[in-house]
Structure 1
Amino acid sequence: MQNRLTHVDNTFINFRNYEYQDSRSPAFRWVDVKRLRLPAESLGDTQLLAELIGHEQFRDDYAGGGVLPEGIRHGPYWVRAVTPDAYQPLDHRESDRILRTWANQFEDVPVDLATDLQREVFDRLASAEPIYYLSELGDEAIHDWGGVHSEFHEFVLIDRARGLITLLVAADD
């Protein structure tokens, strides 16, 4: 079956590329933003989540392997374990809180990083309706080396006004 989402582009923000006040601050954190164009026909949220899960851009282990069209891993999870039901709706306020707490957990991020995060992450959160958050899937869903991320936050942002669905992953490794 042909996937109805079209990959538009990616943005990768690596915290190591920014200078922190405290050189001891863990900088093995990053945000990966994948944008896909919504299909012309109107689909419900569950259908859009299923299309996203079925898209090759979803097959990314986020551990250096990149997107593998036939990949069997998604972040710390087996792809087969991720279903539309695994995503819970989340409001803007809670989404923003989760990401800001994660980003600033050791110290406030540098100004230039904060600017990039605002543009690529927080502005997208603000314009999305709805926002979905990937729930913890349990130990049986974690793939053979899925414990490499100390934190893994995944959001799906649906912006019908702009015709985009965004897969936003923020993690530590």
Structure 2
Amino acid sequence: DTPFVGNDNRQSVSTIVDYLCRSGEPPVYLDIPHVNHNSGERQESYIVAMETAGFKPAVIEAARDYTWDFERIGYEQTEKMLEAGTLPGRTILCANDRLAFGVMAAAYSRGLKVGRRPDCDLRVAAHDDHPLSRYTCPALTTMAQDFTAMAGRSVEILLALLDEADPPKQGMARTVKLGATLVMRQSA
């Protein structure tokens, strides 16, 4: 019964999957350890979006390392797949931007070019629009969550709950999910 304000993962993952499928090879999905609700929702949303688009989903399961060290996880998983020649595609959709930072670093260490140009080896995209995403090389294509709107709705709900003179309206949504915006940069 606790109110929740967050990202609409179905909308955002569907948007970026659609973009990646229309602009090149369909993406494989690199998951993170399921340390919060977003990871499971995003993986499920990826599968639905790929099937809706007529493609077979390809999920690279999360490492068994249940930490928040996503950059290291992305680097190590990508390094292992590149070493073994088992990377299942040239377009990688990462569960979050921090995971993508590790993927891009592993690609760089192998001399692979990341980007959307024809001379590039991999395309990498992600989710969250982390403040560093615009500064990676190349800059990371991602989905930007509307943190300002999330904060505003959270405050509205909190103030309504605290207002003893006017109890929350029966119709007030307990769960609010807000859409995200595609930020196209050079990585995909």
- Larger strand share, 1 or 2: 1
**Higher radius of gyration, 1 or 2:** 2
TM score, norm. by length of structure 1: 0.30
Q: What TM-score, normalized to structure 2?
A: 0.28
**Higher helix fraction (1 or 2):** 2
